[in-house]
Amino acid sequence: MSLSITHLTLVKFLTVCFRVL
């Protein structure tokens, strides 16, 4: 479960980074 949450957080962070760029 921890891995799933970490993966989701990573994806969200990447999405935000791409949006900013």
Instruction: Give the tens place of pLDDT for each residue, 1-21.
Output: 688 999 999 999 999 999 998
**Structure token pair of residue 6:** 């970490």
Q: What pLDDT is recorded for position 8? A: 96
Q: What pLDDT is recorded for position 2? A: 80
Backbone φ and ψ of 4, nearest 5°: -60, -45
**Structure token pair of residue 2:** 């921890």
Q: What pLDDT is recorded for position 3? A: 85
> DSSP assignment of the chain, as one string?
-HHHHHHHHHHHHHHHHHHH-
Q: What pLDDT is recorded for position 1? A: 63
Q: What type of residue sits at position 19?
A: R
Q: What pLDDT is recorded for position 5? A: 92
